[in-house]
Amino acid sequence: MKYLVLVGFLFSIGVGFAQHGLDKDIEKMESKVIEWRRDFHQHPELSNREFKTAEKIAAHLRSLGMEVQTGIAHTGVVGLLKGNQPGKVLALRADIDALPVPERADLPFKSTATGTFRGEEVPVMHACGHDTHIAILMGVAEIMAKNKDKIKGTIKFIFQPAEEGAPPGEKGGAKMMVEEGVLKNPDVDAIFGLHIGSAQEVNTIAYKSGGIMAAVNSFEINVSGKQTHGSMPWGGVDPIMASVKIIDGLQTLVSREMPLTNEAVVLSIGKISSGVRSNIIPESAQIIGTLRTLDADMQAQIHKRMREMVPAIAKAYRAEATIHIDEGYPITYNDPALTAQMLPSLKAAAGEDKVFEIKAITGAEDFSFFQKEVPGLYFFLGGKAPDATEVFPHHTPDFYIDESGLLLGVKTFVQLSFDYLNKE
């Protein structure tokens, strides 16, 4: 039954693959992609620590006869495939890092790995689907390498570390890859990327022209008070109370000062740390959070107000506070002309009724750093099982992806690549 469904699906997408003689290659790739995905899932590695992951990727690309570069932005890998005919240069990107999240899903390839994050030993899990991205792009690389005689131009396969953010005090990710020249020599003309989604129906593709994902900034607030006995709070300055009021005040910036009918803004606190025991009011507290914006002017305004509000609220409670807002990621922006050009290719790969446009979301992606340099198209691949009764968000212990949608990721990248490089 599975074979009949697959053949019917390949026939329904039109002549895109058949005209290049690729339908059989793509059909045979599914089992390999799933096997690779399960291996990466069982052996995840944190940002800037993807050593074994990078070794496996590089070995695969070398086995395909590609020119391979390693150690880009610490653990990044790039494979260069030159077609038999001259033409444009296209980049395809997959992110390769995992997260400090414990896995609860009962899978035969469940992760039991651990790593070190912020000085603590933590469980590690591919809780955002980057394992599927790696496997998909490895499958695409194998298909394209077998058919390089049909390629006009060059493809750069970019396997990028630290999409989730480099550890504190380190550089990494797409920004560092760009700084180290990943889009040069040869110069890339366009770049494509995808992200699997646990809540999006399997075998569908979602896209948006223009801004598709938010800019993101992490922020850290350090509050200083005066330590005292818990029985005599008047003998000191309580940094925990000041922190509570700071958090409350920050939320009013979103609800009372941002024109939310223009674009969304999200401000979330992810960590508060302070104190050691119940009867000691400590001398300091730390607040760590994330800010998501979809408009550059609104982003600048809320940054300004955060820097004004945090020390002012702390002072009102006799404490002192500093705030640091990091550079973050820009808005993930799909070039409108490139999106319009490649939309027929998305539909050819998935089927006309399986491709739909969405509104911008407040998730963020450092793929945006590539898009600042060259036109890019970023889209979402469905990973929700048809019979799923509950969907678990990304970055959670119960995150789950249906593997039956991985082959569409391969098909879509292959379709986009041939259409972009071979069509005038």
Cis peptide before 239, with omega less than 30 degrees from 0? no
Q: Which segments within 96-214 are labelled E, that is strand?
A: 114-117, 120-123, 152-160, 190-201, 205-207, 210-213
Give the integer Cα–Cα distance in Å for 210 and 215: 13
Give the integer Cα–Cα distance in Å for 55 and 48: 13
Alpha helix positions (H), 274-405: 296-316, 336-350, 367-371
Task: State which of 287, 305, 325 marks the end of a domain.
Answer: 325
Answer yes or no: do 34 and 171 share one domain: yes
Q: What is the pTM of this model?
A: 0.86
* 183, two tokens: 């889009």
Answer yes or no: do 345 and 253 share one domain: no
Strand partners, 68: 79
pLDDT, residue 168, reads 86
DSSP state for residue 35 in the 8-state scheme: H
Active-site residue list: 329, 403
Answer yes or no: do 319 and 338 share one domain: no
Look at strands 85-95 and 152-160 and give their pairing.
parallel
Q: What residue type is assigned to position 337 of the chain?
A: A
Dihedral sign from CA coordinates of 385, 391, 394, 400: negative
Mean pLDDT by 10 residues, the chain (424 residues): 38 45 85 98 98 98 98 98 96 98 96 95 98 98 95 98 93 97 98 98 97 96 98 98 98 97 95 97 98 95 98 98 95 97 97 97 96 98 93 96 97 97 85
Answer yes or no: do 197 and 136 share one domain: yes
* 172, two tokens: 């990494």
CB 379 within 8 A of CB 346: yes
> Could you give the C-alpha distances from 330 to 128, 140, 156, 216, 326, in angstroms and in order?
20, 28, 23, 7, 12
Answer yes or no: do 357 and 279 share one domain: no
Q: What residue type is assigned to position 172 of the chain?
A: G
pLDDT, residue 392, reads 96
Domain carrying residue 317: 215-325
What CATH number does the domain containing 180 carry? 3.40.630.10
> Could you give the C-alpha distances from 5 to 1, 12, 352, 353, 389, in angstroms and in order?
6, 10, 17, 17, 23
Answer yes or no: do 231 and 310 share one domain: yes
Look at strands 210-213 and 332-334 and give their pairing.
antiparallel
Answer yes or no: do 219 and 320 share one domain: yes
Answer yes or no: do 199 and 135 share one domain: yes
Task: State which of 292, 325, 358 marks the end of a domain.
Answer: 325
Task: State which of 276, 309, 325 marks the end of a domain.
Answer: 325
Answer yes or no: do 107 and 178 share one domain: yes
* 218, two tokens: 């992490």
Answer yes or no: do 359 and 300 share one domain: no
Give the integer Cα–Cα distance in Å for 362 and 83: 38
* 316, two tokens: 């009102």
What CATH number does the domain containing 315 carry? 3.30.70.360
Answer yes or no: do 174 and 88 share one domain: yes
> Could you give the C-alpha distances from 102 to 45, 65, 259, 269, 418, in angstroms and in order?
13, 37, 38, 20, 39
Answer yes or no: do 184 and 229 share one domain: no
CB 140 within 8 A of CB 155: no
Among residues 399, 363, 392, the alpha carbon closest in space to that of 103 is found at 399
pLDDT, residue 25, reads 85
Q: What residue type is assigned to position 239 of the chain?
A: P
Domain count of the fold of the chain: 2
CB 173 within 8 A of CB 369: yes
